[in-house]
């Protein structure tokens, strides 16, 4: 069972750069969770129009993205399961496609687990200029870049989740 949601407000408007970036990241994590909590299996698999995106797929995708950038790239660790066991060449969208087979509590728990690993990784980085252990796209990557990228990734997908959730039950906001 997923613990009560940490509803993260937007960060203060006049604070340090790291506090601002982490604050926005936490806020968007909270938004995605709020879009998913309380939905059943068929609702988490609801699609809008011709899009194949679902809220369940977005949750699982963002769990993977969290582990990719913070656990794998920033810290240099091997992927944890379930990602380590996936044949990505056979199923490049596995996280989106397989979400329909996961129970709501399992999707939420995977997301929380991945976010927890990310928070631990983030806490271990000394500053925003800290280089990631692994290059990405053949380039050195800083913690600052990872945080900004994660914010844009969440912003995009929270917008998707917003439209899907509204189509399910009319709930809007965030």
Average confidence (pLDDT) over 95-115: 97
Give the pLDDT of residue 52: 96
More confident position, 7 or 11: 11
User: How many CB atoms are located within 10 Å of the residue 152 CB?
Assistant: 11
Per residue in 139-173, pLDDT (tens digit) is 999 999 999 999 999 999 999 999 999 999 998 87
The answer to the question of residue 38 being in a domain is: yes
The answer to the question of residue 123 being in a domain is: yes
Split at pLDDT 50, 70, 90, the class of 26 is very high
pTM for this entry: 0.94
Give the pLDDT of residue 5: 52
Split at pLDDT 50, 70, 90, the class of 1 is very low
Complete DSSP assignment for 40-81: -HHHHT---TT----HHHHHHHHHHHHIIIIIIIIT-PPPPT
Domain count, the chain: 1
The answer to the question of residue 10 being in a domain is: no
The answer to the question of residue 165 being in a domain is: yes
Split at pLDDT 50, 70, 90, the class of 45 is very high
Give the pLDDT of residue 7: 63
Would you state the structure tokens that stand for residue 160, as one six-digit string? 């998707």
- pLDDT at residue 6 greater than cutoff 80: no
CATH number, residue 161? 1.20.120.450
The answer to the question of residue 8 being in a domain is: no
Work out the burial of residue 40: count CB atoms within 10 Å of its CB; fewer than 13 is exposed, 13-18 middle, 19 or more buried: exposed
Give the pLDDT of residue 3: 43
SS (H, E, C) 103-156: CHHHHHHHHHHHHHHHHHHHHHCCCCCCECCCCECCECCEHHHHHHHHHHHHHH
Determine what percent of the chain is predicted with pLDDT higher than 70: 95
The answer to the question of residue 102 being in a domain is: yes
Per residue in 49-80, pLDDT (tens digit) is 999 999 999 999 999 999 999 999 999 999 99
Split at pLDDT 50, 70, 90, the class of 174 is confident
Range of the domain at 39: 17-169
The answer to the question of residue 4 being in a domain is: no
């Amino acid at each position: 069972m997923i613990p009560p949601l940490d509803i993260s407000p937007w960060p203060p408007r006049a604070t340090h750069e790291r506090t601002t970036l982490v604050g926005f990241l936490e806020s968007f994590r909270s938004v995605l969770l709020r879009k998913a909590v309380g939905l059943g299996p068929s609702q988490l698999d609801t699609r809008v129009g011709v899009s194949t995106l679902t809220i369940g797929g977005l949750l699982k995708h963002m769990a993977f993205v969290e582990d990719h950038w913070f656990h794998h790239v920033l810290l240099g660790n091997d992927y944890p399961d379930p990602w380590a066991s996936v044949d990505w060449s056979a199923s490049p969208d596995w996280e989106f496609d397989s979400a329909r087979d996961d129970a709501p509590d399992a999707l939420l728990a995977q997301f929380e687990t991945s976010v927890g690993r990310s928070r631990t990784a983030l806490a271990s980085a000394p500053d925003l200029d800290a280089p990631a252990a692994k290059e990405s796209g053949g380039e050195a990557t800083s913690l600052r870049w990872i945080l900004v990228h994660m914010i844009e990734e969440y912003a995009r997908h929270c917008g998707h989740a917003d439209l899907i959730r509204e189509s399910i039950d009319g709930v809007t906001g965030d």
